[in-house]
Amino acid sequence: MMFKHIFEKRQLAKKLQQLLPFSTHQIYLGNGLWTMDKGVIAEKDLRTKVVLDQAGGSLRGKTILDLGCLEGGFTVAFARLGAKMSVGVEAREISYQRCEILRQYLKLRNLRFIHGDINVVLPQLQPFNIVFASGILYQMADPYSLLKAIHAVCRDFAVIDTHIAQHDSPSHKCSAELVTRTFEGKTYVGRIYHEYDPCLPKDQVEGFLWAAYRDHDAFWPLEKSLEQMLLVVGFHNIIKIYPSSELWQVDHKNRILLVVTIS
């Protein structure tokens, strides 16, 4: 049995080595080994601090869902911080493979990953205490439906990290003109962000690890419109954080962090 364990560990290490370095998440694997030399360390990130603060300082007994988890950095961090169960959903194959090798290598029993489009996966899930949606809402042509789906699987609160459109001028190469979108009879204002050419082959889009998975054009609502969406789908007590500290390890320009509760 001991030799079998050693063999399996070596096989995992070999497969892990083939998937290194990661593209974004710097995750500690033990014995001085990290998934990359420089990247987002979830345990030190403002977003993780916000989740912990809202949860009362501990994830013990809590289930948490990480949407569009990429390489699983935050999902792993939540598991290591004591969540009852931490589940990440990732659509792209290479990113999911990295998530899965992490799960196998780290042997965290409270860690799980699901391979699939969040728009398809979300309606199939049971509720979680916490939903974590970082860098995913602004990739949607229909952010309203995603917020509605998040509300449906959220028991306590959600943390949403997203870009928003500016009213007076475009940013991040968004459309110069303001546009409107109507969801379930209500109209919202924002700008269009072009993700990629819709004519590109699927295998090429699969390689855009930080881009939208299925929507080549995304709708970025104005801050006021985003707040209206959250209220309409059923969230309450919206807390807004405008990150600019060194704990925020992404480009924070025109970005907002929202904590929204069910009641």
25-83 confidence digits (pLDDT tens): 999 998 899 999 999 999 999 999 999 999 999 999 999 999 999 999 999 999 999 99
Closest CA to 178 of 224, 241, 228: 224
If residue 191 lies in a helix (H) or strand (E), which one and from where to where? strand 186-194
How large is the average pLDDT for residues 185-195? 97
Q: Which residues touch 3 (CB under 8 Å, ≥6 apart)?
A: none
The whole-number pLDDT of residue 50 equals 95
pLDDT for 251: 58
Global pTM?
A: 0.93
Q: What is the pLDDT of residue 4?
A: 44
The pLDDT value given to residue 150: 98
- Rounded Cα distance between 245 and 205, Å, is 33
C-alpha distances out from residue 181 to 80, 141, 170, 190, Å = 40, 9, 17, 8
Q: 222 and 189 in contact (C-beta within 8 Å)?
A: yes
Question: Which CATH number is associated with domain 41-261?
Answer: 3.40.50.150
Query: What pLDDT is attached to residue 69?
Result: 97
- Range from 31-40, 62-71, 87-96, 206-215 carrying the lowest mean pLDDT: 206-215
C-beta separation of 104 from 132 below 8 A: no
127-154: pLDDT as tens digits:
999 999 999 999 999 999 999 999 999 9
